[in-house]
Structure 1
Amino acid sequence: MSYNHHNQSQGYVPSYNSQNTGAAYMARRGWGNESDRNTTISFSSKSSSKRIYITLFIMVVLLLIAAIVIIILFATGVFSSTDPLQNPTSSPIFNPTLRPPINNIPTLGPPIFSQNQSYSGAFTILYQASNDFDTKNTNNYNRVFNLIQNALDNVFVTSTLRPYAAKATLTDLQNSGNDLQVLFRVNMLGGGNVDQFTVADVIRNNLNQLRTLLNGNAPIDPNSVFVFRQFT
């Protein structure tokens, strides 16, 4: 910056003849324009940063929610960390490698319940013991024997076992303390799903009929009915 010096005492005023003055600099920068004075400061950079922080926060929240959902699904067994195809817990139902040749399949015999069946059983008539039953083939023994035999025949002929031609055969009468024990046998053709419990239920379900056929004075103990199957 150059100055032209003049003696102030001689009435001279220094003049600035340079483009490097502050006024010139301000003029070059446009600071002297009225429009530049009214220019406002922009906050666009701060608003952009705020939006970025909000976006990141939302993403973090969504990731946390997704992680919680995945943990719950694993805990409830919806997802499994093991591959069932690589680590099977059980063998497949059908295994073609174990399938036998069709010509070697054995033929099954008839089911056991399609064969003739035989059962032995017993029940007790309370308070009917007598010395007459200690000696077999007496008149009184034979009379009571035939009476009970006919009653059993009537019960089984009219029972649910009738389709199998079930026939009851009285085998013996024995004193048991004060009671009379009745021993019998039941034979039938086939039998389907019949078992010893079915035969015993025929006796229990027809106790009233038995009492009536035995002149109404035969108190039969339902808990004494016992039947078992005989295999020959």
Structure 2
Amino acid sequence: MTPVPTPDLSHRLPRTLAADISTYADRPGTAVRLNGWVHRRRRMSGLAFVVIRDRSGTTQVVVRGESTLAQLDGLTEETTVEVVGTTCTNPQAPGGVEIVDPQFTALSDTAATPPIELWRPKISAGLPTLLDAAPVTWRHPRQQARWQLAAASLHGFRSTLDTAGFTEVQTPKIVESATESGASVFEIDYFGRPAYLAQSPQFYKQVLVGVFERVYEVGPVFRAEPHDTVRHL
């Protein structure tokens, strides 16, 4: 029996993120729309699995039928795609739900072959590759986790202090003179005048304590000192 293709509902279907796909576990047969990158393709005899990655995680798409399988030939890894299909419960799939009877629409092709295979659990590339190809290599789940952990830490820090009645402030980062003694500073040319990158917000916080009582800042500081020593983590 030839499967009936999913109708084009993309113009009126809201986008579903990978993190939300589990909410369809008790609603098999629901039409959904995914947008993301082709994370990995695994083609077998008359069957293929395509993993779609978005900002929240991955979703498994099951492809059957020659006409749909033929679409995969032009969908290389990291191609940006839209997928419209129906949900199907599968405990082995990410989130316990997979997408069947899909329709693929390529939104943007890859400009070049990615320098690393993003679907592999670990990255074997060296630091130069990671930095030179950062727009791609940062997509790896392990690299993403660094940003996500930092974001979660900042969120927790801010939430704790906000709850305690602190006021968040943003202090200048280019100053006319050093604001803290005993620290080396970065000197810059500010429109023909000497200036420095702020090495501490201490002075401004001391002033603002007299205004708000409780203040804090999350921001960069610049100290012209060695950073890769036994004293540093």
Between 1 and 2, higher relative CO (CA 8 Å, sep ≥ 6) is seen in 1
Mark the structure with the bigger radius of gyration: 1
Same fold at TM > 0.5: no
TM-score bucket of the superposed structures, by smaller chain: under 0.3
Higher fraction of strand: 2
Normalising by structure 1, we get a TM-score of: 0.16
Higher fraction of helix: 1
